[in-house]
Chains A and B, each alone.
Chain A
Amino acid sequence: MIERFEYPKTKEALLSLLSPEAVLVAGATALYKDAKLKTAGYAIDITRCGLDKIVVRDNEIEIGATARLKDLTVENLGNSAEARMIAATAFSIASTQIRAAVTVGGNVVHPAPWSDLPVVFYALDAKVKVETASEAFELNFEELCSNDPRKLLRGGVVTAIVVPLSKANRKMRFEKFQMTDTEIALANFAGVWTEVDGKIVDPRMVIGTLSPRPCRATNMEAALVGKAPEVENFEAAAQAAKEEIKIMPNFRMKVETRARILGVFLRRALEAAQNDAPYDRCHCSGNPILR
C-alpha cells in the first residue's frame, strides 16, 4: 500500500520519480477504486509541475495532460473548428464537479468505452506526447485505441495531447446520445472530412461507446469518399456504419435499440457537420446535443 505522496514541482522532478512502484495521481476520479492504489509503494501528484498549459499555435493546439475538462473552452483553445468541437465535447461530459477534476491525459490513458474525448482526438488525428526519464515519444490514437494505453507508455507519463489544425475546408462534428445532460454516452461519434471540388475527401469517422474502444468506421468512410456531402450519401454512409459496427451489450439500453437509433444518429451528425450547426448542450431525453 502507498506509504508516501510525492509532489514534484517540475516535469524533470516528476520524470526522476517514475518507477514501477509509483502510482500517478491527477484527477484520480477512477483511482480511488483502482487496485494499484493498494499495491503501489508511493503516489506521485502530477498536477503541480506545469503540465496543465494549453498552447494555441498556427498549426496545432497543445493541451497539457493535466489540464482539466473545465479548461477546454474556446477562450483557452481558440476559435478554430477543432477547438469548438473539443470544447463542446468536454462540456458534454458528466457534471461541473467531474469536469473540474478529470484531466485530459487521464481521460485518454484511463478510457472507459463511453469516453468522449478519445473519440474526438482520434477523429482529429491527434498525437499523445509521452516522456520517460530517458526518452520522449508520441503515440497516435489508432495505437491507443487498439491496445491498453497504459502498456504503451513504457513506464512514462503523458505530457500533452497535440491536435493538428487544418487550413483546408474541413467539416467536423462531435455528437453524443445520452439520456440526460450528465449521463454517460449511449453512443458517441466524431467525424471529420475535407471538401474538395464539392466532394468529400479524407473522411475520418470514429464511433465510440458501442464497442469496447473507439473505432474507425472504415465502411462508413468508404461510403463517403468522393461523394457529395448530401443527405442521401449521409444516409448510405450511416447504413454502412450500422452494418459494420458490432454493438456490445449495455445494461442501460438494449443492443437492438441502439442499433435502431444508430443510423439516424449518424446521419444527423453528418448533416450537422455539413451545416456547421452550432453546439448546444441543452437537450431533452433521447435527443442528441444538436438543436
Chain B
Amino acid sequence: MKLNFFLNNEETCFEIEPDALLVDVLRDNGFVSVKVGCREGNCGCCTVLIDGEPLMSCITLAAQVEGRHVETVESLGSMQNPHILQTTLVDHSAVQCGFCTPGILLATKSLLAKNPNPTEAEVRRAIDGNLCRCTGYVKIVEGILDAAAKMRENT
C-alpha cells in the first residue's frame, strides 16, 4: 500500500507493507537517525514526532501516520547548520555514544514547543522515555535547560 504523509515538512509517499513498523520504514528509506534499540517501546531511541508529539516508532505501525506530520532529527538541523539544541548538548558534553541523542532531541523539541521555559522537573519528565546508558542524564538536562534559555533569548 502507499503511505502518504509529511516527513520533515515534505510531502512523502512510500510503498509499504500494511503491517510494517514505522521505524523500519523510516530506516529503510534512509532516515537512519531513527535508531533501533529494544523494539518494545522501552528505550526511546526510536522516538519521532508525530503531529508534534513524541512517540516510539518501533511500536507504531507505519500506516498509522497516513496524512500526519512526522519529524525525525533531520528536521532540527544538519551538520552544516545545526540547531541550537544540538550545539548546546555537544557543548555540555551531553553526547557520548550518541545513540539516544536523536530521540532525546525530538522529545525536547516537543517539550519546548509547548513550554519554552521548563523547570528541571519538566525536562526530566519530557525525556523520561529516553534511556541513556552513557551520561547519567545530568549533562543532558543541563544542556536542555541552557538551550531553552538561549532559544528564549533569540525570540
Q: Residues of A at under 8 Å CB distance from B? A: 1-5, 7, 25, 28-29, 31-32, 37-38, 43, 45, 47, 70, 94-98, 100-101, 181-182, 281-282
> How far does the Cβ of B110 sit from chain A's closest Cβ, in whole Å?
8
B: residues with CB less than 8 A from A are 1, 18-19, 21, 41, 44, 47, 53-56, 58-61, 63-64, 66-67, 107, 121, 125-129
Contact partners of A94 in chain B: CB under 8 A:
129
Q: How distant is A248 from chain B, measured CB to nearest CB, in Å?
A: 22
Cβ contact within 8 Å between A5 and B66: yes
Contact B107 A5 (CB under 8 A): no
Q: Is the CB of B129 within 8 A of A95?
A: yes
Is B128's CB under 8 angstroms from A96's CB?
Answer: yes
Partner of B66, one of A1, A38, A45: A45
- Majority secondary structure of chain B interface residues (helix, strand, loop or mixed): mixed
Question: How long is the Cα–Cα vector from A226 to B61 in the complex, in angstroms?
Answer: 52
Which of B18, B67, B107 touches A96 (beta carbons < 8 Å)? B107
On whether A5 and B18 interact (CB within 8 A), knowing A181-B128, A182-B128, the answer reads yes
Compute how far the CA of A179 lies from the CA of B55 in the bound complex, rounded to whole angstroms: 23
CB-CB under 8 A for A97 and B107, given A28-B64, A45-B66, A282-B121: yes
Contact sample, A vs B, 11 pairs, CB 8 Å cutoff: A5-B63, A5-B66, A28-B59, A29-B41, A29-B56, A29-B59, A31-B61, A70-B53, A95-B128, A96-B127, A97-B41
Q: Pick the contact of B129: A2, A7, A31, A97 (CB < 8 A).
A: A97
Chain A residues closer than 8 Å to B67, beta-carbon distance: 7
